[in-house]
Structure 1
Amino acid sequence: MGAECCNKDCLKPSVIGYGVVAWLSSGAALGVGIWMLVEKSTYSALLASLFYPVTIYILIAAGTFGFIFAVFGCAGAMTDSRCMLALFWITSFVVFAALGSTGFLALYYHDNVLRKDINIRQAINESETNGLKDVINMLQAEVSDKLTFCLLMLSFLS
């Protein structure tokens, strides 16, 4: 009974499903990378790290490659093309390695960012007029507005 499921009829939809999930995930990574690149100028006072732009470009590149080659994976599974499937799996490995390195950079510099955050908070508490204070106030206002809107929508839908 278990051998019946491990044939081509079961494997093909699994590879297509994995390709669709990889396509959606890569699109999300690409979107987050582009958003981080666009919003970098707004929050540049908060992000004084040298590796922040590198992380953004790795995320955009991995999202782009994954987005493009996930289509090859789905098409290769539908047409039974070994070349397209091999290209898809190799590219998937490279994309996940790039995303893993981005995650490693985030973990490695977590303490450094935490220390900078503490220093930023101390600087805000010590000064009355500061560009950094304006950026943080703007960020808090945006989050507050969006949270208020979400709560209103939830109460309206209930």
Structure 2
Amino acid sequence: MGTEEKTNTCGTICLKYLLFTFNLIFWLAGGAVAAVGIWTLVDKSEYISLLASSAYSASAYVLILAGVVVVATGILGCCATIKEHRGFLIVYFVLLLFIFLLEITAGVLAYVYYQELSDELRVNLKEKMVNQYQQPGQDHVTQAVDKLHQDLKCCGSNNFTDWRDGEWNKALAGDRVVPDSCCKTPSDLCGRRHHPSNIYNVEGGCISKLEEFILQHLQILGGVGIGLAFIQLVGMIFTCCLYRSLKEEPY
């Protein structure tokens, strides 16, 4: 009888150390997850205004929320483990489950948008660029297009000839063929020459460049969200085991 009690006690102590260690790692991971979400929104955030769907930014916001909740949950988990309080462990388990669902949601959103991205860009990007560029009240689109041209070294949605259409060409182009931001060395009215030595003229235009850029971010978002979600399953298993090993205590 005494041997059995000692075995149970040792098992409980081992579970406590495992769960405490997990919580420290989990707490650090929460900060990392939030950082990935913030990085996704901040890095080339201007491009979001060129997208018709909000799924890209929604995935990032879900990860940021999950990261913040993870940090708070990690602190609660450490307290529950140290105090051996079954009530705290229940709350901790519920929060882990909530975060798990958040991260799965972020991963699914990233995957769904991954499948729709190419079609969305081909349908919407040219329309938004040529009809909203340098138009009144569309400063965010103008800045996004200029940054897109310079950062990704492209011109137009499919190629520079896209700029022959739309409101910009009708009212604002003057004798320019493309916006000045298409130039390899931007300067006033440099867009009058569309020779490859003067402007960016890549195959596939900005659509292919932006698609590649966003896909890289979506892969990171999806990988972080789903990967950490499954790691949390380990934490939930530890929590259940520790809960069952502790004697019933009044809440």
Q: So what's the TM-score if we normalise by structure 1?
A: 0.68
The CA deviation string for residues 112-136 of structure 1, in whole angstroms up to 9 with x for no partner, is 1134467778955511746695xx6
1:81 aligns to 2:79 (yes or no): no
Amino acid at match of 1:17: T
Amino acid at match of 2:61: Y
> What is the rounded CA distance, in whole Å, between the counterparts of 2:40 and 2:159 in structure 1?
29
1:90 aligns to 2:94 (yes or no): yes
Counting only pairs closer than 5 Å after superposition, residues 62-81 of structure 1 correspond to structure 2 as 62-81=66-85
The answer for the alignment partner of 2:188 in structure 1 is none
What SS does the corresponding residue of 2:45 show, helix, strand or coil?
A: coil
Instruction: Give the CA deviation at 1:52.
Output: 2.1
The answer for the alignment partner of 2:12 in structure 1 is 8
Q: Pick from 146, 153, 160: which aligns with 1:127?
A: 160
Q: How many residues align?
A: 135
Pick closer, same or farther for the CA change 1:82–1:68 going to 2, 3 Å: same
Higher alpha-carbon Rg: 2
The answer for the alignment partner of 1:37 in structure 2 is 41
Q: Pick from 24, 27, 38: which aligns with 1:23?
A: 27
Instruction: Identify the range of structure 1 (36-45 vs 74-83) with the bigger mean alpha-carbon deviation.
Output: 36-45
Q: So what's the TM-score if we normalise by structure 2?
A: 0.45
Identity %: 28
What SS does the corresponding residue of 2:117 show, helix, strand or coil?
A: helix
> What is the rounded CA distance, in whole Å, between the counterparts of 1:47 and 1:32 in structure 2?
20
> What is the rounded CA distance, in whole Å, between the counterparts of 2:87 and 2:118 in structure 1?
46
Larger % of helix: which?
1
1:111 aligns to 2:143 (yes or no): no
What SS does the corresponding residue of 1:109 show, helix, strand or coil?
A: helix
Pick closer, same or farther for the CA change 1:117–1:17 going to 2, 3 Å: farther
What SS does the corresponding residue of 1:49 show, helix, strand or coil?
A: coil
Unpaired stretches in structure 2, ≥5 consecutive residues: 1-5, 126-153, 162-177, 182-204, 214-251
1:58 aligns to 2:91 (yes or no): no
Amino acid at match of 2:159: E
> What is the rounded CA distance, in whole Å, between the counterparts of 1:67 and 1:40 in structure 2?
26
Pick closer, same or farther for the CA change 1:99–1:31 going to 2, 3 Å: same
Amino acid at match of 1:20: L
2:31–2:68 Cα contact (<8 Å) kept: yes
The CA deviation string for residues 104-158 of structure 1, in whole angstroms up to 9 with x for no partner, is 111122121134467778955511746695xx69xx9xxxxxxxxxxxxxxxxxx
Instruction: Identify the range of structure 1 (64-73 vs 40-49) with the bigger mean alpha-carbon deviation.
Output: 40-49
> What is the rounded CA distance, in whole Å, between the counterparts of 1:95 and 1:126 in structure 2?
43
> What is the rounded CA distance, in whole Å, between the counterparts of 1:10 and 1:46 in structure 2?
53
